[in-house]
Amino acid sequence: MLDFDFEPELPLWAKNLAVFDLETTGLDVREARIVTATVATINQNGEVDSLREWLVNPGIEIPQVAADVHGVTTEMAVRDGMEPAQAVLEIVALLSELNLSMPLVAFNAPYDFSILKAEALRYQLAHLEPKPVIDPLVIDKQVDRYRKGKRNLGVMSEHYGIKLDDAHNSTADAVAAGRIAQVLARKYAELAIDAAELHDKQSVWSDQQSESFAQYLRKQNRPEYRAELGWPIKAI
């Protein structure tokens, strides 16, 4: 019997992916403004085929705590950034076009897609209703639910052997998320389904995970905590 390394075939949905990430002014998806954005496509080898980046003047002060994370100050954004309405228009248009032929990947998708929708509504623009979406965070929690430790992008990149040299850079984060999605697709046979079906499953999984976390917090002397449901976009 021959002994050789065998790399499982990628499911069809994972062979070409559009990857998406935002860096913003804050964590509140209704109030945060876009500072940088990346939309890229990767092929079945995880290589970047196309890349579009935006630096945006958010129209408000960038808090120092946010600037410390992504490296963009208010001064830099005002000097070099695009007007936010134009940037949002372009981001939505490109994601909409790509989503016609491939899934959109976003790590913790409700954060990025909810902020994008809030920004579109803020400037009275058409918003994106993405489908199918692939969220490596939701999938990882489902297929390896008992693994201990944090599950942020840096930790998961290391766990799955993905290089992430510049965390909180929107391009580095977007590409890493796409490559993690492909590792998961190869590793777990239950993900070898149609992209639309996987999208629907993630919506259920995400709400279940949110409810489970809420139950945990209520047992930790936070009885008022309620899960905020909605995937890949929260109610705005």
Taking only the tens place, the pLDDT of each residue in 104-125 is 999 999 999 999 999 999 999 9
β-strands 34-42, 133-134 pairing: unpaired
Q: Supply the pLDDT for residue 165.
A: 87
What pLDDT, on the 0 to 100 scale, is given for residue 94? 98
Instruction: Count CA within 13 A, CB hemisphere, residue 214.
Output: 12
**Are the C-beta atoms of residues 85 and 123 closer than 8 Å to each other?**
yes
State the Cα–Cα distance between residues 168 and 23, nearest whole angstrom.
7
At residue 235, the pLDDT reads: 83
Query: Is the link from the previous residue into 232 a cis peptide, with omega within 30 of 0?
Result: yes
Calculate Rg over the CA atoms of the chain. 18
Q: What CA–CA distances, in Å, run from 135 to 61, 139, 142?
A: 30, 6, 11
From the CB of residue 150, how many other CB atoms can be counted at a distance below 10 Å? 8
What domains can you pick out in the chain, each with its CATH number? Answer: 12-142+151-219 (3.30.420.10)
Place of tokens 């992209």: 195
Q: What is the pLDDT of residue 1?
A: 39
pLDDT digits 0-9 by tens, 128-156: 999 999 999 999 999 999 999 999 999 99
Q: Look at residue 5 in the predicted model and tell me its pLDDT.
A: 52
Low-confidence ranges of the chain (pLDDT < 50): 1-4
Report the C-alpha gap between 171 and 114 in whole angstroms.
19
Contacts of 191 (CB under 8 A, 6+ apart): 11, 139, 143, 184, 185, 198
Provide the pLDDT for residue 167: 85
User: Is the distance from CB of 94 to CB of 41 less than 8 angstroms?
Assistant: no
The values of phi and psi at residue 51, to 5°, are -150, 130
Residues in the chain: 236
Strand-strand pairing, 34-42 and 17-24: antiparallel
